Structure 1
Amino acid sequence: MAMMELTNTEDDKGEIQPPKPKKRRVVLFMGYLGSGYQGMQRNRDAKTIEGELMRALVNTACVPDHLQDDYAKLKWSRSARTDKGVSAAGQVVSADLKCEVDGQLSQSLLDQINESLPEDITVYGWMRATGSFSAKADCVRRRYEYLLPTSGLGQEDVDNEKVVSARIARFNVILARYTGSHLFHNFTDKMKGDDPTAQRYILECTCSEPFTIQNSSFLKVSLVGQSFVLHQIRKMVGLALQVRSLVANPFANLSASV
Structure 2
Amino acid sequence: MRIRELETKAVQIRMDVLNMIHQAKTGHTGGSLSNTDILTALYYHVMKVDAHNPKWEERDRFIASKGHSVESLWCILADLGFFPKEELQTFSQFGTRLIGHPNNKVPGIEMNTGALGHGLAVGVGMALAAKRDRKDYRVFCLMGDGEQAEGSVWEAAMAGAHYKLDNLVGIIDRNKLQISGSTEDVMGLEPLEEKWSAFGWHVVSIDGHDMKALVEALVDAPEISGKPTLVMANTVKGKGVSFAENVPHWHHHVPNEKELREALAELSCRLEQLKSQEGQVH
Range into which the TM-score falls when normalised by the shorter chain: under 0.3
TM-score under structure 2 length normalisation = 0.23
Q: Please identify the structure whose Cα radius of gyration is greater.
A: 1
Structure scoring higher RCO (CA < 8 A, sep ≥ 6) equals 2
TM-score under structure 1 length normalisation = 0.25
Q: Between Structure 1 and Structure 2, which shows a larger proportion of strand residues?
A: 1
